[in-house]
Amino acid sequence: MAVTEPPGPSRTGPHPPPAGAPTERWAALTDGAVIRRRGSRQPRSRCSSNRRRRQRPSTAAHLDRSGGSPRRGRPLRPVPDRHRQPGVSYVVDSMPPVDRRIALVTGASRGVGRGIAVALGGAGWTVWVTARSNRVAGSTSHLPGTVEETAQAVTAAGGRGIGVLCDHRDDEQIQAVVRRIEAASGELHLLVNNAWAGYERLNAGQWTEWNAPFWQQPLGLWDSMFDGGVRTHYVTSVLCAPLLRRTPASVIVTVSMEVGASHDPAYGVAYSAAKAADDRLAMAMAKQLAADGVASVAVYPGLVRTEGVMQFAAHLDLSASQSPEGVGRVIADLAVDPRLMSITGQALHVADLARRYGVNVTD
């Protein structure tokens, strides 16, 4: 299904600060934003008889049956049932211009998280990226990647990257990030729950331990997947929910894996249970967020050529593998799908979504 682009802004560009407003503060508030002034009108044209006629919108996207006017920047409101007419579609594209879309991608110093963040940058998003590895505190792994490097890659791709050091096992650190997003933009269109400590021991070379039966695996492996994975997704979603609920057409994407839907004996018990929990989390949140028009889905990447996976390339068949950026391009299209609410609550294969949106997920 084709993805439709949102209607463009009516006014863009720099704006002078209001009288008496500190110049630096005004610059910070308008950095990268599209400012629409209340009560502004579209340009008018003169006909040959010198009578002025208001320009009518040229596309159906400007028809606002919900009581708001996209041309004036007013928020779109749901149409009350008593005003709905039988047989009339009330679908309104409420996504903002691309340079105003705000995303938070957790666990983004490397791997799938970095790929998603950079792809969103390529689509023009402002992307807040969090991770525990940064240039000052150092890395949590021998693998390359820091939160600053990902933020710079987002900006280089065409978006605006903002890197924040955050250990998502610490609720206060998550709250601090959310407060910064709220202060900077007041809205959040996309949350990607990708923080995951469950691969740390595997990335450190514990291949035999990873493939051992559960009674031979350390109990810490369970903790890393639930405390450093599932719980971080839940807490981040809880703290971001107020922002998401007041942002039209927003979505939570939780990165999971198909072993949660159908256990494969080749994977460990803790891993299977954690991914099943992520799937149920996405579904349960979708049920409670639906009334606010917020979608929630889990996604299943395939075998992705992350830095950790490539350590074991000699033992793997990478012929059908996906790239981190390819997964990211799928998420970028998913986030602006005008029919996203029709698939909310589901666990979706990235390969299926790539076909849906016509995305090459391997490159």
- Catalytic residues, by residue number, are 271
- For residues 258 and 276, give the distance between their C-alpha atoms in angstroms, rounded to a whole number: 8
**What number of other Cβ atoms are within 10 A of residue 178's Cβ?**
20
Q: Which amino acid is at 152?
A: Q
Count each helix (H run) and each strand (E run) in the chain, helices first. 12, 9
102: nearest Cα among 163, 201, 185? 185
Rounded CA gap, 154 and 258, in Å?
Answer: 28
Interhelix angle 111-122/147-157, nearest 10 degrees: 30
Length of the chain: 363
Strand partners, 126: 102, 160
Which tokens sit at 358?
């016509």
CA-nearest of 264, 272, 258, 263 to 301 is: 258
In one letter, which amino acid is 172? E
CA neighbours closer than 13 Å in the CB half-sphere of residue 212: 14
CB of 52 closer than 8 Å to CB of 46: yes
CA distances in angstroms from 362 to 21, 214, 312, 336, listed in the order given = 49, 33, 18, 21
Distance between CA atoms of 106 and 236, rounded to whole angstroms? Answer: 9
Q: CB neighbours (10 Å) of residue 251?
A: 27
Question: Rounded to an integer, what distance in angstroms lies between the CA atom of residue 48 and that of residue 108?
Answer: 58
C-alpha–C-alpha distance, residues 52 and 335, integer Å: 40
Query: Is beta strand 126-131 parallel, antiparallel or unpaired with respect to 102-105?
Result: parallel
